[in-house]
Chains A and B, each alone.
Chain A
């Protein structure tokens, strides 16, 4: 049977941890951004829209390099964070999560934005006339009705994060046990002559993880959609 070596198990767990964190970080920002794009009109909206979608079309290595420039210990933001808070995300799993989050962000925003745009704003008006404050309206009406879009966005983001490779390896490199997610472990093994059997095992493992994750996500999405539509 298929027994996992400690290194393989680590890679699986790390992949899951990094992806979940990536989804977790991008979710609140993603919902806020999607709402802004769906509901507000302001100068520079097209620019913001383009900026958010840029990671979709840029080579991931460019995104990774940009992250290095911005968040690296000598970077514009990273340097400031390090000096003032002693925080550094480079060459750590947190960095991998940031890279995955950035790459997954546009997919998440897109899904949530579409579902916010599909909400009948007249329902929100009705809630206002019943005495709900605007924030309450958002929490009790807008958010639940966006539910299926949020789930889809999370699944897409999770899937994208699970497969993230280019930006991650550029930004946080391949540090054993710290940033060696499944794809990065596989890449590392594939560079070593004679490690084909190990590489194949990781390929199979990746297939299983991807399949199980997507299956679970679909089950969850169905359940939530059913709860919202009441069907």
Chain B
């Protein structure tokens, strides 16, 4: 499926001016709050009318002001999972699910009630009233309701944002499960690097209502200059790795990438599995000589390939470690003191505990 979006719309003082195409299976709309992510999905769903633009879902043009096409929301066949679930309070869980199921369009994607209930493990909840559900249960039911409406695309608008960390970790496997079972294209709105890394393959980076970058998640994420606009402090490097050893005594796993090995404090990994490591640039420090007797477990020798000169106290340094670029953010003072410049050999150090416990294993 492909999604093609081209929108120019002012919403009060805020302007959305976003163009992107995605043929990924899960496309993340990523940006800090106020970047226009939700406005864009609402326009895709037909809940906000764009002033100028075109939205094509698969081969269906759902909006095109030049051709006077504006399919109303109820005919767009999008499954919308809202941040706040929006279950109908006057209906049981089963009737909430039926609400979408009864109105499914008979399109290509039409999962059975039982399959959806199974995948999301909501069978025990079916006869409950919605106000008795926990936040996580609400979201699972909301995902189920959207799936059962037989949509062409699933729009997930920060579905985890109102949940605490433990619940997030509980729900993500269900979303992965949905991706694997139903193979439905998903647009996933988020401001969490972690969620994007776990769930998305394509990424649209948004800032101030405009698209700053589109591409494969690793590609966009490995542009710290771009990711920095999200103000998350998450700018850094995404490295695809393979699990080569696990050590249960210390709870440490060895993962291998093109340039070497990482030791990461992640338990429960299977040897042979692959995952994406996210190493924040600000967690990578540099040394000119190989440090000895330090607690840092991950030290890589590499060559500086670029030094950003954006006149700020911090600078972005890219280091080529055996063919993999790792980003480091250090102060301008350190850059001068260590005379860091392209071509210089350096040692990049990453504390193991600074690496987020990720990430989908497949």
Contacts and interface: CB of A to CB of B under 8 A. Distances in A.
Contact of B86 (A126, A140, A227): A126
Nearest to B45: A129
Interface stretch (A15-23, A131-139, A158-166, A212-220): A131-139
B174 interface: no
Interface residues of A, number: 24
Contacts of A66: none
B89 A129 contact: no
B131 interface: yes
B89 A145 contact: yes
B113 interface: no
A219 B145 CA distance: 34
Contacts of A194: none
Max chain B C-beta neighbours (<10 A), residue from A122, A125, A126, A130: A130
Interface in A99-145: 120, 122-123, 125-134, 137, 140-141, 144-145
Interface of chain A: mostly helix, strand, loop or mixed: helix
A131 B130 CA distance: 21
A38 B241 CA distance: 57
A132 B86 contact: no
Contacts, number: 72
A228 interface: yes
Interface in A216-231: 227-231
A122 B99 contact: no
Contacts of A147: 90
A122 B84 contact: yes
B104 interface: yes
Given A125-B47, A131-B105, A230 B90 contact: yes
Contacts of B105: 131
A125 B131 contact: no
Interface residues of B, number: 29
A126 B80 contact: yes
Contact of B79 (A123, A129, A133, A144): A129
B330 to A, nearest CB: 46
Nearest to A137: B74
A129 B62 CA distance: 13
A130 B146 contact: yes
Contact of B129 (A127, A131, A133, A230): A230
B74 A128 contact: yes
Nearest to A133: B74
A130 B100 contact: yes
Contact of B145 (A130, A137, A144, A145): A130
A130 B44 CA distance: 14
Interface in B77-129: 77-80, 82, 84, 86, 88-90, 99-100, 103-105, 129
B149 A144 contact: no
B355 interface: no
B86 A134 contact: no
A227 B129 CA distance: 11
B88 A123 contact: yes
A125 B142 CA distance: 13
Given A129-B47, A129-B79, A134 B88 contact: no
Contacts of A128: 46-47, 72-74
Nearest to B78: A129
Contacts of B46: 128-129
Contacts of A120: 86
Contacts of B146: 129-130
Nearest to B95: A140
18 contacts: A122-B84, A123-B89, A125-B86, A126-B86, A127-B99, A128-B46, A128-B73, A129-B79, A130-B100, A130-B145, A131-B149, A133-B74, A137-B74, A140-B99, A145-B90, A227-B90, A228-B89, A229-B89
Given A125-B86, A131-B77, A230-B89, 15 more contacts: A122-B84, A123-B88, A125-B73, A129-B80, A130-B99, A130-B145, A130-B146, A131-B104, A131-B149, A132-B99, A132-B103, A134-B74, A145-B90, A228-B89, A230-B129
Ranked nearest first, the 6 interchain pairs of A and B with the lowest CB-CB distance are A131-B103, A230-B129, A129-B80, A126-B86, A130-B100, A128-B73
